[in-house]
Amino acid sequence: MASAGLGLVWLAALRRRFAKEAAARGEAPPPLHPSLVPLADIGPPIIVFGLFVAGGQAALAFLLTGGGGVFSMFDLAGFLALLFGYGVWVKAKVAHRVRTYRG
């Protein structure tokens, strides 16, 4: 799971780089539909808060049950890294919009 989290962080860094390269070429990001503008502003913080809560609940459940006798600390760390990577990816996806097609 940690490798998936690192992969998401890498994809977020690539998106940021592609957006900066597109801006240097003078390309503008595609416009959002007016009904999606509020969602683009409020959506990522809500998602990140949800990921924070889910990570806290997972860590608390792990600590209270001792991992249930099945999971190790590495499993918990991998899950938390996956949640962190997803949060970074969501923020980068909204902050650095790029055109995904030529047309």
Range picked from 67-76, 78-87, 92-101 for highest mean pLDDT:
78-87
The answer to whether the beta carbons of residues 78 and 1 sit under 8 Å apart is: yes
**Considering the chain, what is the average pLDDT of its residues?**
86
Span 62-82, average pLDDT: 89
**Dihedral angle computed from the Cα positions of residues 13, 90, 45 and 56, in that order, rounded to the nearest 10 degrees:** -90
Is a pLDDT exceeding 50 seen at residue 75? yes
Is a pLDDT exceeding 60 seen at residue 3? yes
> What percent of the chain stands above pLDDT 70?
94
20 CB-near residues (< 8 Å, 6+ apart): 96
Burial class (CB in 10 A: 0-12, 13-18, 19+), 33: exposed
